[in-house]
Structure 1
Amino acid sequence: MPFFLTRSQFNEACQAFVSKHNDGGSSSPGIGLGGWCWKEHAYVPSMGFLTRTVMLHRTICDMDSEDREADEAATNPTATESLSCHQHVAYSTSFQVPAFYFNIFDSNGSPLSISDILKTAFFRSSIREDTQATTFAVSAGEAVFPLLSQGDHPVLGSPSWYLHPCETANVVGEIMDEIQHNPDWNDETRLVRWLETWFMVVGTAVDLE
C-alpha cells in the first residue's frame, strides 16, 4: 500500500468509507467515523470531498462584581453555548494525502477566532499545551511546519482552518505497513483502512467524537 494516495484513490476510499460507516458498518472506538457524506464539486466530479457538521459546546460565564469584591470566585459557569463545527476532508494535491479542514461558528453564525477555538474541547489538551498561536496559524514546539494554518478550502475556495498534512503520509504509511498484510483484503478494503488509519492519526490532535 503506498504512503501516498492519488486523487482517484482518495475518491474511491472516501466513497467506500461513507458506505461502510453510514450503513451500519463498524467504527473504531474513540474515533468519530460516522456522519460523513461525500459531496461532489458542482462542476468537476473528480474534486469531491467528505463533509459533516457536528455540534460542540462551550461554557458561558457571568462576572459577578460582588464576588470579586469579596475575593470569591470571579467567574461562575451559568450556561453553555452551542457551536457548529463544519468539518471537511479534501485532497491535498501538494502532499497527495487527505487534509482535514474545519471552521467553528458560534450560536450567531460568527466564526471563532483561533484563540477561542483553542479554548474549546475540540483540540486535545496535549495539543493545546506547548503551542504558539498567531492570527493565522498555530505551531507546536520546535516544529518546522505549523500544526494548524488558515487557507482557502481547495474545493470551495472559502477561508478555512486546516491541519497541516506534511507528515501524514509517513505516519499513516508506517501504521499501514504493520496491518495491511491481510490476504482477505481487496484494493478497496485497503483504501478504506488507509483512510480509517488517517482518521485515527487526526484524532490524536482533535476530538472527532
Structure 2
Amino acid sequence: MYMPEPTVGSVISEIEKRMKRLQAMVEIAEESLRFEEGRRKAPKPSQGNMWTYLITALAWTLGGLFILYLFRSRYSGVVGGAPTGVSIVVYAIIALGIVAVLLFYYLPRRRGAVEEFDLDERARAAKLLIKNLYAPLKEALLEDNDTALGAMADKLLEDPLLAHAMEVVREGDPRLAAYALYLYVSFKSGNVSLEDVAEAVEKVDNRPLQLLLESLLPEEGSIIL
C-alpha cells in the first residue's frame, strides 16, 4: 500500500492537530472543575451529619463489642456463655455493617478527589505543552531553525516540568522526543545515517516527531504506522 512521503507541512498539520486536542482537553478540564466547584458550594448538611453519625456508631459498637468480650472472658463461669456469645456475634455483625457503609461513602469521595486532582494536573500539563513545546516547534519548523530545534531538545532533557507534562497527557517519552530532535538536526548536518533515522522512527512515540523523522527518509524507506 502506497503512502505519500511525510513533509514538513504534514508535520506542522499534525502539530496543529495536537494543539487543538490539548486545548480541548484544557477546556473540558476547566469546565469540569467549575462544575465541581459549584457542587461544593451547595449546602449538604445531611452528608456531614451522616458521616459523623456513622463514625460515632462504629466507635460505640466496637466499644460494646470489646466490653462484652472482656465480660465473657472474665466471668464466663458466672454468666452463661451462650447469651453473651450471641451478643458478641450480633455486635460484630453490626460493626462490619457500619464499616461497609463507611467504605461505601469514603471510596467514591476518594476517587472524586483523585479525579479532580488529575483534571487540574492534565489541564496545566496541556497548557504547558502548547506553550513550551508545540508552539515553539511549529515556529522553528516554519523558519527552518535548527538551532531552535536543538535548544528544544535540550529543554526536554533539562526541564522536569515540561518532561512531566508530556507524560501526564501521554504525548510520548520526553527523552525519545529529545533524541528525535537531535537526530533530525544532526542528519541535516550530515552526521547521522538513514539507518539510524529509520530505527529511531520505530522507537519515537510522539506522532509529530515520528513524521518529522520520516520526512528525512526516501520513499522506499518510509515506515508506515
Q: TM-score, normalised by structure 1?
A: 0.29
Which protein shows a greater Rg? Answer: 2
Greater percentage in strand: 1
Name the structure with the higher helix share: 2
